[in-house]
Amino acid sequence: ATSLFEWIDASLGRVDFLANVAGEGILADPLEVTASQIRSVMENLVVGRYALCQQAGRRMLARGTGSIVNISSLAGVTALGRGHIAYSMAMGAVAQMTRELSTEWAGRGVRVNAVNPGYVQTGMQEREIAWEADLRRISPEQVVQGYVADTPLGRLERPEDVAAVVAFLCGPDAGFITGEAIEVNGGAWIF
């Protein structure tokens, strides 16, 4: 994280916002998930994001302005079951990290928020659909049908759905928003 931000300092001069996203997960029966697997997911999804928040935060706090948006997940606010234990634990930690950093830095001009996507059409999701189908002994098509059925807006989410909210949170129209987690998941968190 340090070398990335040193490059940004040298090339761009400053950091105005951070859209903080990383993806890793495993889908497995909670009785089969190992401590090593939990540590790996937490290292990538929580510790790695914290390092980026810390480096961006230092620079933003020095200028007295900036916005950090942590991409969390529906899994951080509701239990998904179906083998998501490690990912859900990590996303819950990202949600709490967001609240803590927003409390620490709000009075110093830096806003920290989160976005909680649901079932987003990405390469990572395609892999997880296959894992979940195997774990539940159903077809990948049935997994997707279940995701759509769990989403009141009736479709899978697109990356652009998330990006639009991140752009809003990083922009001036969100200048009085901090410590929030915005549900961008087609209503899936309701269930």
Question: Of 50, 87, 119, 147, which is the active-site residue?
Answer: 87
**Considering only CA atoms, which of 95, 153, 96 is closest in space to residue 119?**
153
At what angle are helices 35-42 and 85-105 packed, to 10 degrees?
A: 40
- CA of residue 169 relative to chain centroid, distance: 14
87 belongs to the catalytic site: yes
Distance CA 16, CA 182 (A): 20
Residues with a known catalytic role: 87
